Amino acid sequence: MSKNQPRCHCGGEMKRNGTTSKGTTRWRCKQCGASSVKRRNDITN
């Protein structure tokens, strides 16, 4: 697993699931199907 790949609140791995209209990566959990947008604190927009 990649170091920057987020984890779901259920503990499952998340995979990329497209982007938002602003270009932010959208993630979906492989186990429970939850979808979210994770924001990295080390990147400023």
Instruction: Give dist(CA 12, CA 21) in Å, integer.
Output: 26
From residue 11, alpha-carbon distances to 1, 17, 23, 39, 44 in Å are 13, 18, 26, 18, 27
The pLDDT tens digits of the residues spanning 24-39 come to 899 999 999 999 887 7
Query: What is the overall mean pLDDT for the chain?
Result: 82
Prediction pTM value: 0.67
pLDDT more than 90, % of the chain? 42
> Which of 13, 26, 12, 22 has its CA nearest to residue 45?
22
- pLDDT given for residue 38 in this prediction: 76
pLDDT more than 70, % of the chain? 76
